[in-house]
Amino acid sequence: MTMTLEGARSVAAVILEPVPGANGVLVPPPEYWPMVRAACDAEGALLIADEVLTGFGRTGKAFGYQHWSVTPDIITCAKGLTSGYQPLGAVIVHDRVARYFDDHLLACGLTYYAHPTACAAAVETLKLYDDEQLFANAARLGPVLRRELDAVAARLPGRTFVRSLGLLGALEIEAPAAAWTRLGHELAARKLSLHDDARRGTCVVAPPLCITDDELVYGVRGLGDAAVAAFGAGGAAATATTAAGDAP
């Protein structure tokens, strides 16, 4: 992999989500992150992992990049840092980046910078992750989520793709727009809250990390019922890919 569109050594940084989430949980192949890291090293570019969605256990590891044995220079994070109970984002930098600021002023003054209430929520959230071993729970339930999503795909007509890693999964379903509107109603009727995107044809599942086996199975089977009501039943023609991410 090389950076060909920009001039030699003119790229300051590459920023990537370890698993692009809102675009439909696009789990990259194993060689992808190491190749990006090598290209950044060759060009002198920093590698930034946007862990806002994948950080704090969502994919079954503390940070998503850890699935691929690479070390980014900078990590951005937010959501899971406080589980949303307080608004807080953070930037984590590698030692070699931090050293630069030993004698260079980082002049940024944000109104709520290091807000004590938000930081207290983060400290307590990180403690709970540890006390309740929630990252391990996400790793353990990853194959269960995959198995259940594969089962949903097998119930649907047409082509359905399944992608997941830890407790982040997606169905990509080929269906007309009207059927996606029906899906929204069917999900609401079952009190299921998902990120469904008719334009991309994706339905993203990201349950809380404290979910139990039974709750996860109940929820994804409810999604299957809603999807069958919206898209119709199929079976034989359905295609479930298990190429990327967790195996069932």
Ligand X SMILES: Cc1ncc(COP(=O)(O)O)c(C=O)c1O
Q: Which of 50, 148, 172, 186 binds ligand X (CB under 6 A)?
A: 50
Toward ligand X, which CB reaches closer, 21 or 24?
21
Tell how far CA 240 is from the center of its chain. Answer: 20
Toward ligand X, which CB reaches closer, 52 or 141?
52
> Cα angle vertex 78, ends 77, 80, to 5°?
105
Per-residue mark of binding to ligand X, 1-20 (x: CB under 6 A): ----------------x---
Cα separation, 99 vs 172, in Å, equals: 44
Cα separation, 96 vs 244, in Å, equals: 33
Judged by CB under 6 A, which stretch of 45-53, 117-125, 132-140, 239-247 contacts ligand X? 45-53
Structure tokens at 36: 């990006």
Structure tokens at 221: 């089977």
Judged by CB under 6 A, which stretch of 46-54, 163-171, 192-200, 206-214 contacts ligand X? 46-54
Count H helices, E strands: the chain?
A: 7, 8
Shortest Å, Cβ 193 to ligand X: 15
Structure tokens at 93: 């930098």
Q: Is 73 in the site for ligand X (CB under 6 A)?
A: no
Toward ligand X, which CB reaches closer, 26 or 97?
26
Residues lying near ligand X in the complex (CB under 6 A): 17, 21-22, 50, 52-53, 78, 89
